[in-house]
Amino acid sequence: MPAALMEGKRGLIMGLANDKSIAWGIAQALAEHGAELAFSYQGEALKKRVGPLAERLGTPRLFECDVADMGSVDALFEGLKAEWGTIDFVVHAIGFSDKNELRGRYVDTSHANFIKTMDISVYSFTAICQRAAAMMPEGGSLLTMTYYGAEQVMPHYNVMGVAKAALEASVKYIAEDLGKDGIRVNAISAGPIKTLAASGIGDFRYIMKWNELNSPLRRNVTQEEVGKAAVYLLSDLGSGTTGENLHVDAGYHVVGMKAVDAPDIATQTHQPAPKE
Ligand SMILES: NC(=O)c1ccc[n+]([C@@H]2O[C@H](COP(=O)([O-])OP(=O)(O)OC[C@H]3O[C@@H](n4cnc5c(N)ncnc54)[C@H](O)[C@@H]3O)[C@@H](O)[C@H]2O)c1
């Protein structure tokens, strides 16, 4: 039995779709450490999957919320307030972009998908922080999920990379705004993990293989490992940390070049030219 680092803490998990979701790894780790959890789900179709998962971790507290609709975000926090009054943490594990634009060139991004990607993947975190902070009179901890494609160019990540860069910048601004109230705001930059959202990214299997072969730990990370890092940031272990972007990526972000022991690998879309 792990130390109960989250005993007495209550919080909201947003972005659970199924048992492959990063939100599921985080929810499990928080529950193991004694946290009480509530979940939001995007729509009726997902409720069937989220309900049984939430039940496995204790009393299911479920709230529908589509973050593209501010009325829906307000309703979520009204429901949460009626249930608990105050909260200690929120996990925002939500992102969206049209998968037709997660391949090819960033420069071809459409205006409509740019706006939608930024709205759901970036602004929603700000909207959540506004409402969560109002329920944190004693302070708290807010967490979002990002990817290294915000810092460096990654194949096919395109508008999502631009959105994650904006999300990472917003973490810093919100950390400054809410720090005086004892509220910490951080991001975890996870290495590639096979989830529903990730399957929309072009050549995702190649990206995972490349990370496995070239990261210092020579492997990919798991949802469980992201969960453990989230416990650090959401518990009192992380009491001195805010505005941080914690990489949980087997160290890939420190690498500048292919490892000498890594084989050349090909994508499904681009095969290497035959040798002369
Ligand atoms: N999987 C990876 O390799 C990886 C790596 C780094 C960061 N991330 C980030 O982690 C987060 C979680 O993604 P995941 O990989 O677990 O995939 P996932 O598909 O399991 O989760 C994505 C979630 O976003 C939710 N969502 C999308 N649009 C929404 C809306 N309008 N309203 C409410 N919810 C909405 C979906 O319902 C789903 O639960 C995302 O921000 C993603 O960018 C993923």
pLDDT at 2: 63
* Shortest-distance atom of ligand 1 to CA 189: 6
Ligand 1 atom 9 nearest Cα = 145
Q: In terms of Cα–Cα distance, which of 226, 132, 119 is closest to 184?
A: 132
Mutate-to-test residue for ligand 1 from 39, 94, 122, 125, highest number of ligand atoms within 8 A of CB = 94
Q: Is the ipTM of this complex over 0.95?
A: yes
- Ligand 1 is surrounded, with C-beta below 6 A, by 15-17, 21-23, 42, 46, 65-68, 93-96, 120, 145-147, 190, 192-193, 195-198
pLDDT at 272: 62
Ligand 1 atom 3 nearest Cα = 192
Q: What tens digit of pLDDT does each residue of 20-52 get?
A: 999 999 999 999 999 999 999 999 999 999 999
3-state secondary structure 217-264: CCCCCCHHHHHHHHHHHHCHHHCCCCCCEEEECCCHHHCCCCCCCCCC
Q: For residue 196, how far is its CA from the centre of ligand 1 (angstroms)?
A: 8
Total-model pTM = 0.97
Q: Is 123 a catalytic residue?
A: no
- Classify burial at 62, counting beta carbons within 10 Å of its beta carbon; exposed 0-12, middle 13-18, buried 19 or more: middle
pLDDT at 274: 67
Q: Is 156 helix (H, G, I), strand (E, B) or coil?
A: coil
d(CA 191, CA 263): 20
- Structural domains in the chain plus CATH codes: 10-250 (3.40.50.720)
Q: For residue 65, how far is its CA from the centre of ligand 1 (angstroms)?
A: 14
Task: List own/partner pairs for 82-85 with CB under 8 A and 24 or more apart.
Answer: 83/38, 84/10, 84/38, 84/135, 85/135
Active-site residue (options: 123, 147, 148, 206)? 147
Mutate-to-test residue for ligand 1 from 20, 64, 145, 194, highest number of ligand atoms within 8 A of CB = 145
Mean pLDDT by 10 residues, the chain (276 residues): 87 98 98 97 93 92 97 98 98 98 96 98 98 98 98 97 98 98 99 96 94 98 98 98 98 96 83 65
Q: For residue 273, how far is its CA from the centre of ligand 1 (angstroms)?
A: 35
Strand ranges across the sheet with 36-41: 62-64, 36-41, 10-14, 89-92, 140-146, 183-190, 245-248
Taking each helix axis from N to C end, the angle separating 111-118 and 158-179, rounded to the nearest 10 degrees, works out to 30
Taking each helix axis from N to C end, the angle separating 124-133 and 158-179, rounded to the nearest 10 degrees, works out to 20
Question: Which amino acid, one-letter code, is at 102?
Answer: L
Q: For residue 264, how far is its CA from the centre of ligand 1 (angstroms)?
A: 30
